[in-house]
Amino acid sequence: MASMRENRVKAKLNRGEVSVVLSGHMTPDIVDWLGPLGFDGVWIEGEHGPVDYKDIPDLTRAADIWGMTSVVRVNQNAPGVIYRTLDVGAQGIVVPHVNTKEEAEAVVSAGKFAPIGERGMFGSRQSYGVDNYFEEANDQSLLIVLIEDIVAVNNLDEILEVDNIDVFFVAPSDLAQSMGYIGQLGHPEVTSTIDGALEKIAASGRTPGALASDANVEAYLEKGVKFMMTGWTAWAQAGAEAFKEKVAGATS
């Protein structure tokens, strides 16, 4: 009897280890190119990016080849959106703007089969060849909620009471906007709010997630962040600028 593919991100988090997924422009070929770099997963952008349901099967197949977890950010907290994304191959779901305990419970209801939730009974692409898929699926599926509004920060104590959510990810841009500081991610009130939310999540025994970069990764690790999303395109841009500077310096 075949077993489901291990969810690498979830397995590392369950062991108390730090897990990092890459975000940026994603096609199956790019995911395949990223695979040998050794990161735990890829963040597939279905909220702000062009990814649609027809794209997810091939994107997640490319991730499967390298044992990377396919994490798809969906565009709304709706049952059909969540379980259909899992059905076509995603190993993890990221749900935006989860602002209340009830909204967090709705994520679990849509993302988990009974007896935990009410996900529609269907053998997803990840079920192929797995005879006991429905017994394994709840253990392998990764659920992430975005804390990205000040109302969510104010309701965080209650949101953290919801079981079966793997990561509580504090997203900076929309949070800053909701606080009246559009585009001011470095504003002291914004950074203080983010840090306070991350510390509260960690202190509660749950897993905090954050948008990491070369500039802040050490600070977030010190705050107990265990799940990090980072953009690979920033590294490509930095490398391009450095190369152009060398060319300009040699020819000036």
> How many C-alpha atoms does 11 have within 13 Å on its Cβ side?
11
Helix (H, G, I), strand (E, B) or coil at 42: strand
Give the 3-state DSSP-derived string for 180-244, with helices as H, strands as E and coil as C: CCCCCCCCHHHHHHHHHHHHHHHHCCCCEEEECCCCCHHHHHHCCCCEEEEEHHHHHHHHHHHHH
* Contact residues for 171 (Cβ-Cβ < 8 A; gap 6+): 96, 146, 147, 148, 211
User: Is 48 among the catalytic positions?
Assistant: yes
Torsion of CA 156, 159, 165, 169, to 10 degrees: -30
Active-site residue identified among 25, 48, 97, 187? 48
Q: Which residues are catalytically annotated?
A: 48
